[in-house]
Amino acid sequence: MNELKNDRYLRALMRQPVDVTPVWMMRQAGRYLPEYKATRAQAGDFMSLCRNAELACEVTLQPLRRFPLDAAILFSDILTVPDAMGLGLYFEQGEGPRFERPVTSAEDVRKLPIPDPEQELGYVMNAVRTIRRELKGEVPLIGFSGSPWTLATYMVEGGSSKVFTRIKKMMYAEPQTLHLLLEKLAASVVLYLNAQIRAGAQAVMIFDTWGGVLTGNDYREFSLHYMHSIVDGLQREHQGRRVPVTLFTKGGGQWLEAMAATGCDALGIDWSTDIGEARRRVGDKVALQGNMDPSVLYAAPGRIEQEVAAILERYGQGEGHVLNLGHGIHQDVPPEHAGAFVEAAHRLSRSYHL
């Protein structure tokens, strides 16, 4: 495997000195880029794009050709694991992901297999190996998974939800059924992420998109507990180098201390939490990733630069910051605005690392 030419992203996650604050964007490969739309059309549909290692590699690399980003992130979907459990994932036009066979009972949970990452999810590992090879050591590759709670919400609801009534009904009326489902998902995610690490992912991230819909007690019991068990089960070193792990709970700013106590290396934060306040709360326990509102990218480049400057100032001097959006880039953002964000991040952050 190639030695990294730019490792500032990994160094920042481990709170080591860097020359500038590293920057990447959640969903940096995606529909805001015309070249992505062309490749997706070539693939036929979204899951066909994910399952084709060469095309998944192509869309992973597209934003890196445009912008001097400090990391690549595997192009995939958080629902690959439940799909591999046999729930029949499909995508409705304008509706998002759906499952043909949602989980509705304890019997459904008992029947779920724990997927073998090199078999049922082998296409993801092929994509990781292909991307890692084609990156040629330019920047590190981030692997990822959805959190058990977030995956469970889709599996029980049958797709996206705004109110989460089905999964919350299971949580309050049949908590033992939900715990059994979350245990299976945590075991599956450990296997899945460790396989990504062996295939070449140099850092991993757990996306807990829906943890923020829970009360504090329920978050700890049904979301954080299982992310903690995943952190405990991950391979934290590969090829002589530490593999940092980042936890991101959207809407989870009130639980940063509890998240930092899991033993992860970094926390992602959304735009609803002040990054300076977050840094004061977690101290030097973990690095922080974030946290510009993706909608700022609709603004003129001068306004984007102001926001980057404000986030850098609030974080302050020193190490342990990865500049990112607080969630995924919107599909109708002009690509040149994303470029302005990356350029401003590097230029304005240099003085914070002297």
Active-site residue set: 27, 31, 40, 77, 154
Q: Is 268 annotated as a binding residue?
A: no
Q: Is 77 annotated as a binding residue?
A: yes
Tokens 């996306």: give the residue.
207
Query: Measured on CA atoms in the order 32, 37, 38, 39, is the torsion positive or negative?
Result: positive
The β-bridge relationship of strands 89-92 and 96-99 is antiparallel
State the Cα–Cα distance between residues 21 and 341, nearest whole angstrom.
Answer: 12
Q: Is 30 annotated as a binding residue?
A: yes
* Contact yes or no for 175/152 (Cβ under 8 A): no
Assigned token pair, 210: 């829906």
Angle (CA) 137-142-146 rounded to 5° is 165
Q: Is 327 annotated as a binding residue?
A: yes
Q: Is 88 annotated as a binding residue?
A: no
Cis previous bond, 291, omega within 30: yes
Q: Is 321 annotated as a binding residue?
A: no
Q: Is 28 annotated as a binding residue?
A: yes
Question: CA 222 from chain center: how many Å?
Answer: 19
Annotated binding site: 27-31, 77, 154, 209, 327
Q: Residues annotated in the binding site for substrate, as ranges?
A: 27-31, 77, 154, 209, 327
